[in-house]
A and B are shown apart, each in its own frame.
Chain A
Amino acid sequence: MPRKPFKVQAVATLLGISVDAVRRDSEEAGLQIERQPGDGPKTRLFSIENIYDIAAFRAKKYNLVAKNKRIITVYAPKGGVGKTTQTSNLAAIFALMGLKVLVADLDFQANLTISYGYDPELTREEATENGFPLATCVDFHLGHLLPQWQGNSPTPKLSDVIKKPFGENGPHLIPSEVTLDRLEALFTVDAIMSKKPELAIARFLAEGRSGRNKDVDLSMYDVIMFDAPPAKNQTTRGALLASDFVIAPVSMEKYSTKSVSYLAGVLNEMEVEYGKFPELTILGNFFDMTRVRVAAQVIALTKQYPDAWLDTQISSSEEFKKVLSDDEGMPLALARPSSTAAKELRDVAKSLIKKMEIL
Chain B
Amino acid sequence: MKSKQSEAAFNASLAARLQPEGASPGATSKMHMNDAPVGSSKSLDALLKDFDTVPFSSNASTANVTSTASVNESLAENGSSPIRRLPVQNLVDSPWQPRLKYDETAIQALGETLKARGQDEPIRVRPLANGKFELISGHRRTRAARLIGWAELNAIVSAVDDREAHKSTLLSNETSEGLSDFERALSYKALLDEGFAQTQQEVARLAGCTQGRISQCLSMLKLPRVIIDMLDTYPGLITYRHARVLQELLLKYPDGALAISTTLEMMIDKPEIEPGELKELIGKACERKRPKRQAAPTRIVEDKNGRSAFKVHSTANQIIINVVPGVDVDLSCKRTIAALRAFAETIEVPEDKKS
Contact = CB atoms under 8 A, between A and B. Distances in A.
Contacts of B21: 292
A185 interface: no
Interface residues of A, number: 45
Interface in A303-332: 303-305, 307-308
Given A296-B22, A308-B36, A257 B31 contact: yes
A303 B26 contact: no
Interface stretch (A36-44, A191-199, A344-352): A191-199
The residue in B24, B36, B239 that gathers the most chain A C-beta atoms within 10 A of its C-beta is: B36
B32 interface: yes
Nearest to B275: A268
A277 B276 contact: no
B28 interface: yes
A293 interface: yes
B46 interface: yes
B45 interface: yes
Interface in B39-73: 39, 41-48, 50-52, 56-57, 59
Contact of A300 (B31, B39, B56, B241): B31
The list of the 3 closest CB pairs from A to B, nearest first, reads: A300-B27, A264-B34, A275-B212
A272 B37 CA distance: 9
A205 interface: yes
A55 B66 CA distance: 60
Contacts of A195: 56
B279 to A, nearest CB: 13
Nearest to B56: A196
A103 interface: no
Contact of A304 (B25, B33, B57, B213): B33
Interface string B5-38: 0000000000000000111111110011111110
A206 B48 contact: yes
Contact of A264 (B33, B39, B43, B210): B33
Contact of A275 (B25, B35, B52, B210): B210
A265 to B, nearest CB: 4
A308 B138 CA distance: 44
B208 to A, nearest CB: 10
Contacts of B33: 257-258, 260-261, 264, 300, 304
Contacts of B43: 276
Given A206-B44, A258-B31, A299-B28, 14 more contacts: A254-B25, A260-B33, A261-B31, A267-B36, A274-B47, A275-B41, A275-B50, A275-B213, A276-B46, A277-B41, A295-B22, A299-B22, A304-B276, A307-B36
